[in-house]
Structure 1
Amino acid sequence: MSSFSRIAVILRDGQPGQTVDVRGWVRTKRESKGEFAFLEVNDGSCFGNLQLIVDGNVPDYAALMKEIGTGASIHAVGEVKESPGKGQRIEVHVRSLRVLGTADPATYPLQKKGHSFEFLREKAHLRARTNSLGAVARVRNAICFAIHEFYQSRGFLYVHTPVITTSDCEGAGQLFQVTTLDLARLAALKQEQGKPVEIDYGQDFFGKKAGLTVSGQLEGETYACALGDIYTFGPTFRAENSNTTRHLSEFWMVEPEMAFYELDDNMQLAEDFVKFVIRAVLEKCPDDLKFFNERIEPTLLASLENIVSHEFIRLTYTEAVDILEKSGRTFEYPIAWGKDLQSEHERYLTEEHFKQPVILTDYPRAIKSFYMRCNADGKTVRAMDVLVPRIGEIIGGSQREERYDVLVDRMRESHLNPDDYWWYLELRKYGTVPHSGFGLGLERTVQLITGMQNIRDCIPFPRTPKSADF
C-alpha cells in the first residue's frame, strides 16, 4: 500500500492536526507578498482540489516557487488545519515540498482559462487533467463497475467474445477488415492489369475474410444456450462514415444474452439495468454530477431522477408512429410506417409526449436484423428499443429467432449466406430454446449520465472518420 494519501481521502477524512503526504498536479498557484503561496492541487481521485499553504519557512521556498507553475507535479508533506476559506473544510500547511516534474508555462496548453472541447480533443493526452474530462473518466469508471455489479449479483457469467470475427452480426457490411495480405502489391497489380484483382483470402492469415467485431452477440448466444445467463463487455467497431456527435468508430458494448427469456423478460431486465447503473453513479459520483448539472446540462439531475423514478412506458412501433403522425410536428425526417425512427422522433416521444423513458417493440421486419424473432403477422419482429430523454435510443435488443427454418429464410431475405453462419444455425438444431438479449453502448450511457453533448468526449481516445490520433 502506498505511503501517501489520495486527495479524495484527505478531503473526506482529514482532521486538524493530522500529518499528510500529498502528491499531485498543480492546478493554480497564487503568491502573496512576504514569501507566502497558495497551491491548488489535484491528483485525479476526486473533483475537488486540495489547498496547500506554503510559506517562507519551507526549505528552498524561493527556488521552488520559480519551478512551480500550472501543470507541475509536486510532493508535499504537511499538517491538516481548519480552513477559514469559503467552501473548503480543511487545508494543508506544508512543511516540506519538492517538485517532481515542471511544466513550462510558455508551452503548457492547459493554463487557467476556459478551453473548448474541440481544443481539448487535440490534447487528448492531457485533457483528463481538466475538471470536465476528469469527471467524465470517474463517471465512466463508476458505470463500468456498476455494470459488472449488476450482472454478477444476478448470477450472470462474464464471457469474452472475439474481437476478430468472420461473421457480420448486423449484416450491414460495416466491418473493418483485418488482413495480412500485401495491399500495396494488390493495388500495383490492379494498376498493371487495368482491372480488379481477384483476392485469394485463402492466403490470408485466417484463411478467409475477417474483420473487427461489430457485436459479440452471435458468439454470446452460443454460451447463453449452454450456461443460461451471460454478458459480454468489450470494444466493438463499425466502419460507418458518420461524423456526428452521436457516433464513434470504436466503442464499448455491454451485451447480455439470456436463455429461456422472452421479450417481456428482456424488457424488464433492460429497465432494471438502466435504473441500477444510474442509481449507482448518483450515489458514487455526487460531486462530479453536481458539476455537470451546473456547467454542462442544467436539467441533468432532474432528468436522471425522472428515469429512475418512473416505470418505463411500453408501446409498439405502430403505436409510436401513430402518435408521431398525429403530433402536429414537422420533423426533419418525415415519419411513416416502415421507416426507422430517427433521434428527433425518439426524443419527441420521451421528452414531449410521455416525458419519461419508453420501450418500443415490434418493429417492421424489413428494417431489423435477421436474428430477431418474427411475429405471427409476418410483418414485424420481436425487437425492442429503450428510449430515454436527451439521448433517444440507449438500448437495442430483441427476442432471438430460435426456429431453424425461419432463421434460414431471414438470412436469405437479408442477402446473407446461411453457410457462413452454420455454427449459429446449429444452435437451432440441437436443443433450441427461446432466448433474448440486448446491447447497451457504454459511451451513450456516459453521455446520458454526464450531459456531455459530444460522444467523442465520453471515451478517452475517440476513433472517428479521418481521426485515430493518440
Structure 2
Amino acid sequence: MKHTKVKDLLNSTRSLHEVKAKGWVRTFRNNQFIALNDGSTLHNIQCVVDFENTPDETLKRITTGAAIAVTGDLVESQGAGQKFEIKVKHLEILGDSDPDKFPMQPKKHSLEFLRENAHLRVRTNAFGAIMRVRSVLSFAVHQYFQEKGFVYVNTPIITGSDAEGAGEMFKVTALPFDNTPRTEDGKVDYSEDFFGKETNLTVSGQLEGETFAMALGQIYTFGPTFRAENSNTSRHLAEFWMIEPEVAFNDLDDNMDLAEDFIQYVIRYTMEKCADDLKFLETRLLDEEKAKPQAERSELALLEKLNFVLENNFKRVSYTEAIDILRNCKPNKNKKFKYPIDEWGADLQSEHERYLVEKHFKCPVILFDYPANIKAFYMRLNEDGKTVRAMDVLFPQIGEMVGGSQREERYDVLVEKMDALGIDKEELNWYLDTRRFGSAVHSGFGLGFERLVLFVTGMSNIRDVIPFPRTPGNAEF
C-alpha cells in the first residue's frame, strides 16, 4: 500500500478509509498520541495508537526521532488544533532512535547548537520551514527566467579568471604539497598542474555568461560561487549560490527594471506557496524580538517587510544624490554612523544603505552611477570619466541585495581600464573577443541567493539559510 504525504492528509476534505503515512516521531504522549511529521509540511498529523492492543515492546520504541509507518483510518479529530487524525490500526517501526542520545528533543534549541548539528537541524520546525522556503524560492528563480525566455547556462566552477579582480579565491590544484614543482625563480610551476595553468574556484559566472548573452540574447546562471575572504560574520559565506542574468541590448535602465520585476516576482510567488511556513517564521521572529532592547527591535514584522518590497516602487537615486543625503543627515552630523560620510567617493556601508531605505525614502532603493574607482573594471564608464553605470538594489534590514551594471562594451575603453588596473589582457583575451566581434550594449546583475533567503525568512545569520555552511574554520558535514 502506498503511503500518503502528511500535507495531503491534513488537506483532505473528508474522512478516508485505510490510509498509510510514514514519517518521524516528533512527540509521543500518554502511550497513545503520536505527532508525526514527514517534512512535507510544517504541521504534524496526530496518530492515535490503540495502546491496549499494541505490544509494550513496540510502544517503547516509539521515541522522538524514530521513523515509523502507520496504517489506519483518517477520521475527524476529537481534539483541538487539527481537523483530521489517523486512528492507527497497524504500526511499524522503520528506524529506531535512542531517546537519550537524539539531539533534536522537542524543546527550544539555540541556533548555535543547531549549527553544530546541521545534519539533524532540518528536523526542527524552524529549519524545515527555512529549507522549504529556500526550495520554493529556487524554483521561482528558474520559473521567472524561463517564462521570460531566458536560456539557463551552466558556467564553470573551475576558472582561470578572477571576475571581481579581488584576488580572494580558492586555488584548485593537483600538485603535491611536498616537493611542489617550481620554476627557476622559485615560483610554483603551474605548467605541471592538472590544467597546465593556475586555476581557482569561481567567484562569479558573469564573464562567461556575457559571452553567451552575446549569442543567445538573454541568459542566466544559478550556481555555486566561492570567496576565500576571511570574514567570520553573520553576512558572509565561503560557498554560496549566485543568480546572474546577462541581457544583450539592455542598458542600465532596462537592468534596473529587470531586477525590480524579478525580485518582486520571486517574493510574491514564495509568499503564495509558503504561507504557513512564513507565518511560522514570522511568529518565531516576533518572539525573538521581544527579548531584544526596544531600540534594537525591527520596525517591520516579516510579512510586513515582504509586502514593503511588493507594494512599493523601487526609488532610483544616483550615488551623488545619496551622498548628499547621507552627508547632511542627522545620524552623520551627530556621529551616529560607525563609518561617517565626509566626501564623495566613499564606499557605502550597510548602515548607510539601510538609512536610505528605512528612514529617508521608506521604500526599496536602487542606487546608480557609482564612482569608477570603487567598482569593477567591466562596468561602463560614463561620459564624466569618473562614474560608471553601476547599480545596487537596497532592501530594509539587509542593505545591498543586488549588484549589477551596464557592461563596458567599447573595446578601447575596456582595454584602457584593464591596463590601468594591471589586469592580464592575454588571460582574458577570450572576454575581449566579445568586444571585437559584434559588440553591443548589454547589462546584468548578481544576486546572492542566500542573502535573498535570509531576507525572505527573516533569519539574522546567513549560516542558517544554507544546508551546510562553509565559513572560515568550518567545513563540517
TM-score by length of 2: 0.94
Look up the match of 1:323: 325
Asked if 1:41 is matched to 2:36, the reply is yes
Partners in 1 of 2:52 and 2:80 — Cα distance? 25
Deviation at 1:313, TM superposition (A): 0.3
SS in 1 for 2:11: helix
Deviates more, 1:362-371 or 1:352-361: 352-361
Deviates more, 1:18-27 or 1:238-247: 18-27
Flag structure 2 segments of 5+ consecutive residues without an equivalent.
287-299
Partners in 1 of 2:16 and 2:161 — Cα distance? 63
SS in 1 for 2:330: coil
Indicate which of 210, 224, 227 corresponds to 1:221. 210
Asked if 1:241 is matched to 2:230, the reply is yes
Look up the match of 1:203: 192
Residues 196 and 290 of structure 1: is their aligned pair in 2 closer, same or farther, counting only changes over 3 Å?
A: farther
Deviation at 1:284, TM superposition (A): 0.3
Partners in 1 of 2:385 and 2:356 — Cα distance? 26
Check whether the contact 2:17–2:74 (CA below 8 A) recurs between aligned residues.
Answer: yes
Deviation at 1:409, TM superposition (A): 1.1
Look up the match of 2:353: 346
What amino acid is the match of 1:47?
L
Check whether the contact 1:14–1:80 (CA below 8 A) recurs between aligned residues.
Answer: no
What amino acid is the match of 1:313?
K
Partners in 1 of 2:180 and 2:216 — Cα distance? 45
Check whether the contact 1:24–1:75 (CA below 8 A) recurs between aligned residues.
Answer: yes
Look up the match of 2:137: 143
Deviates more, 1:380-389 or 1:50-59: 50-59
Superposition map of 1:31-180 within 5 A? 31=30, 36-56=31-51, 58-60=53-55, 62-180=56-174
Partners in 1 of 2:185 and 2:64 — Cα distance? 57
Look up the match of 1:332: 338
Would you say how many aligned residue pairs link Structure 1 and Structure 2?
A: 459
Deviation at 1:196, TM superposition (A): 8.5
Partners in 2 of 1:200 and 1:152 — Cα distance? 44
What amino acid is the match of 2:113?
F
SS in 2 for 1:445: helix
Deviates more, 1:36-45 or 1:165-174: 36-45
Look up the match of 2:312: 310
Partners in 1 of 2:460 and 2:131 — Cα distance? 15
Partners in 1 of 2:253 and 2:52 — Cα distance? 69
Partners in 2 of 1:125 and 1:17 — Cα distance? 35
Superposition map of 1:343-422 within 5 A? 343-422=350-429
Deviation digits for residues 343-398 of structure 1 (CA, Å, limit 9, x no counterpart): 11111111111121000000000000000000000110000000111111111000
TM-score by length of 1: 0.95
Deviation at 1:431, TM superposition (A): 0.4
Look up the match of 1:254: 243
Partners in 2 of 1:396 and 1:55 — Cα distance? 59
Check whether the contact 1:357–1:386 (CA below 8 A) recurs between aligned residues.
Answer: yes
Check whether the contact 2:51–2:59 (CA below 8 A) recurs between aligned residues.
Answer: no
Partners in 2 of 1:67 and 1:87 — Cα distance? 26
SS in 2 for 1:98: strand
Look up the match of 2:294: none
Asked if 1:11 is matched to 2:10, the reply is yes
SS in 2 for 1:406: helix
Check whether the contact 1:58–1:94 (CA below 8 A) recurs between aligned residues.
Answer: no
Deviation at 1:339, TM superposition (A): 1.6
Deviation at 1:64, TM superposition (A): 1.3
Partners in 2 of 1:355 and 1:302 — Cα distance? 13
Structure 1 segments (4+ residues) deviating >6 Å? none
CA RMSD of aligned residues (A): 1.6
Deviates more, 1:371-380 or 1:348-357: 348-357
Partners in 2 of 1:91 and 1:14 — Cα distance? 13
Partners in 2 of 1:454 and 1:89 — Cα distance? 36
Look up the match of 2:297: none
Partners in 2 of 1:56 and 1:206 — Cα distance? 65
Partners in 1 of 2:306 and 2:51 — Cα distance? 49
Deviation at 1:184, TM superposition (A): 2.7
Check whether the contact 1:222–1:424 (CA below 8 A) recurs between aligned residues.
Answer: yes
Partners in 1 of 2:384 and 2:263 — Cα distance? 31
Partners in 2 of 1:92 and 1:222 — Cα distance? 57
Deviation digits for residues 309-345 of structure 1 (CA, Å, limit 9, x no counterpart): 1110000111111111111102001123212111111
Check whether the contact 1:186–1:197 (CA below 8 A) recurs between aligned residues.
Answer: no
Indicate which of 430, 439, 443 corresponds to 1:432. 439
Deviation at 1:85, TM superposition (A): 1.9
Residues 148 and 58 of structure 1: is their aligned pair in 2 closer, same or farther, counting only changes over 3 Å?
A: farther
Check whether the contact 1:248–1:463 (CA below 8 A) recurs between aligned residues.
Answer: yes
Look up the match of 1:20: 19
Partners in 2 of 1:248 and 1:378 — Cα distance? 34
Deviates more, 1:149-158 or 1:414-423: 414-423
Flag structure 1 segments of 5+ consecutive residues without an equivalent.
none
Look up the match of 1:444: 451
Deviation digits for residues 183-207 of structure 1 (CA, Å, limit 9, x no counterpart): 23239x99xxxx9832111111111
What amino acid is the match of 1:204?
D
Check whether the contact 1:361–1:385 (CA below 8 A) recurs between aligned residues.
Answer: yes
Indicate which of 177, 183, 191 corresponds to 1:183. 177
What amino acid is the match of 1:183?
F
Look up the match of 1:464: 471
